[in-house]
Amino acid sequence: MVVLAKGELEQIALPAVHRAAPPLADVPEVDLAAAWSGGVEGRAAAARAVAAACEEHGFFKVTGHGVPVQLLARVEAAAAAFFELQQREKEAAMSVAAPSSPFGYASKRIGNNGDLGWVEYLLLGVTAAGASTGDHSADAPLAVPAEEAVPSDWRWSFRDLLNEYTVAVRRMACSVLELMAEGLGMAESDAFARLVLHEDSDSMLRVNHYPPRPEQKQLHGGGGGGNGRVTGFGEHTDPQIISVLRSNATSGLEIALRDGSWVSVPPDQSSFFVNVGDALQVLTNGRFRSVRHRVMVNSIRSRVSVIFFGGPPPRETLAPLPELVGEGGRRRYREFTWREYKASAYRTKLAENRLCHFETT
Ligand code: GA4
């Protein structure tokens, strides 16, 4: 069992100082089906819409994505069933992960630098075949509870389901990355997608569960009520190229706009939400914005979300792409490898600005 040090729980549960965020009125939306079937014009329009959303918010909704709704529902149900297991069963499920590995099941602790949130989660590596594993070896089952915890067919089906989901979402993420490149008018439409499709791509799958907001008396050791909001996952940007999120119908996701104000994103269980990550901000020389986001536990309902993070191979050199810098243009970031960036990111606290260390002066 993970025992929190004295004071840690209070730190998570302290009502955030910020007020409830107003809903984002016009969530940019891209219909992939229309992009695929709309001929040259339809595709160009979708590509322009994607690029505009990435420049303005670094965030948009994807509809017409072609991922079967039944698959989404099955993943959601299986994830909910996993999180309903006893704490010791969930922890045992992940004991196959190397102790030093960031992969596995965890509760409340985020990363290694003291961040806490009102969340429990599974973090899984994704292999080239799209299979989610804990240690990147093809036959290490990871997203599964321990032998004695649940019937073995259940364990295997959860793992298979996550694999099926990962394959479908990665394919969709790459279609979106192609539209991004087209929207930027790049000569090669696979300039971004090829990094995530690469057999050494460092991608991940995260399954989050935000239990309903705790009672105020729990938060303050029996103290009075109040309407304080509880942070599920603190504000941050994602280090990777692209993140593709799908959640159940429970609210909680918030994004920061250019002016620094926060807006909430109305949930939509049949769509996906795409975040631009730090690596894509670098490749586009800052044209696309790595969106700062967070999850607030402000509901009486559980929130379950599944996020695919598409990353480049560790050895890949990242730098602003010359055609996006333009002749005589200024490169805003120096060159670095994804391995270097990730190591640096993992040394930071969640809310830190990780890209500033890689900016040119
Ligand atoms: C944010 C995006 C992904 O969830 C993640 C997170 C990672 C973790 O939970 O271990 C990090 C966070 C994320 C960025 C900074 C570091 C690493 C927690 C943290 C404090 C899996 C990722 O790749 O980076």
Complex ipTM more than 0.95, yes or no: yes
pTM for this one?
A: 0.90
pLDDT band at 156 (very low <50, low <70, confident <90, very high): low
Q: Ligand 1: distance of its center to the CA of 350 in Å? A: 7
213 lines ligand 1 (CB under 6 A): no
50 lines ligand 1 (CB under 6 A): no
pLDDT band at 183 (very low <50, low <70, confident <90, very high): very high
Q: Ligand 1: distance of its center to the CA of 112 in Å? A: 9
Check residue 310 and give its pLDDT.
Answer: 96
* Closest residue by Cα to residue 354 from 323, 316, 318, 328: 318
* Closest residue by Cα to residue 67 from 167, 162, 180: 167
Coil, strand or helix: which one is 106? strand
pLDDT band at 15 (very low <50, low <70, confident <90, very high): low
CA distance 134 to 122: 10
Average pLDDT of the residues of the chain: 86
Neighbouring CB atoms inside 10 A of 220's CB total 16
| Residue whose CA lies nearest to ligand 1 atom number 1 | 238
235 lines ligand 1 (CB under 6 A): no
Residue 79 clears pLDDT 90, i.e. is over it:
yes
Q: Ligand 1: distance of its center to the CA of 355 in Å? A: 14
Contact indicator for 33, 271 with CB cutoff of 8 Å? no
Residue type, 187: A
Check residue 14 and give its pLDDT.
Answer: 53
> Which tens digit of pLDDT belongs to each residue from 259-285?
999 999 999 999 999 999 999 999 999
Check residue 10 and give its pLDDT.
Answer: 52
| Parallel/antiparallel/unpaired status of strands 29-31 and 59-63 | parallel
Per-residue pLDDT averaged across 243-256, rounded?
Answer: 97
Residue 227 clears pLDDT 90, i.e. is over it:
no
Residue 250 clears pLDDT 90, i.e. is over it:
yes
> Which tens digit of pLDDT belongs to each residue from 188-200?
999 999 999 999 9
> Which tens digit of pLDDT belongs to each residue from 294-336?
999 966 899 999 999 999 999 999 999 999 998 899 999 999 9
